Structure 1
């Protein structure tokens, strides 16, 4: 025995313990046993929550790009040039993510309306 104690290699009912831990999760309904998703707990659906997150990321990236461009106008150093490039890439990625999230939200809404 490496651990030095006999109970180290005893199976302690891992399935039962796992079930107990799963029952204590936030999104589990104690009556039905159904697990509720994070999106439903937040009061929306996944597409709506992803769209809101994409909008927030887009706003942050847009502000970071403006700040970086202002810093570059004040001091045209290599450091600020790289900062602008990084902010521009981040902004473009946030823009693509926002467009994709809007598209997914539209599809989810159309599917829900049917």
Structure 2
């Protein structure tokens, strides 16, 4: 069967229980207890720590991209490189704000967990 340019498979999935089991495996549900495990718990940390780590990695990446864009613009101040520099500045500013927010959330989480 083809719909909207994509080929879809007409193979029967089996029982509804099997389909539910497949779904549970994709969202990190424990098949015995039925408890949903977050990605952070699966990674061995808490959600605030994981968000902070992701924000730090993203900040580093955006900072590097900004430095590269500035280098390209210094070598060749064309419209293309100017647009690239503007986009990199906006992305870096957003990454800074995200990092500050993640640090604040992590701080609140740490204070709450130490009591």
Cα distance, 1:70–1:30 mapped onto 2, change above 3 Å: same
Distance 2:78 2:37 in 1: 51
> Corresponding residue for 2:95?
94
Deviations 1:50-93 (A, max 9, x none): 00000010001000000000000000111111111100000000
The secondary structure found in structure 1 opposite 2:52 is: helix
> Number of residue pairs matched?
103
- Normalising to structure 1: TM-score of the pair? 0.79
TM-score, normalised to structure 2's length? 0.78
**2:46 counterpart of 1:45:** yes
Structure 2, gaps ≥5 residues long: 1-13
Q: CA deviation at 1:17?
A: 4.7
C-alpha separation in 2, matches of 1:78 and 1:22: 48
Highest RCO, 1 vs 2 (Cα 8 Å, sep ≥ 6): 1
CA-based RMSD: 2.1
1:3 corresponds in structure 2 to: none
Aligned partners of 1:25 and 1:87: how far apart in 2?
Answer: 35
The CA distance in 2 between the partners of 1:31 and 1:85, in whole Å, is 51
What is the match of residue 70 of structure 2?
A: 69
Structure 1 or 2, whichever has the larger Rg, is 1
Say yes or no: does 1:81 pair with 2:82. yes
Aligned mates of 2:114, 2:49 — CA distance in 1:
15
1:6 matched to which residue of 2?
A: none
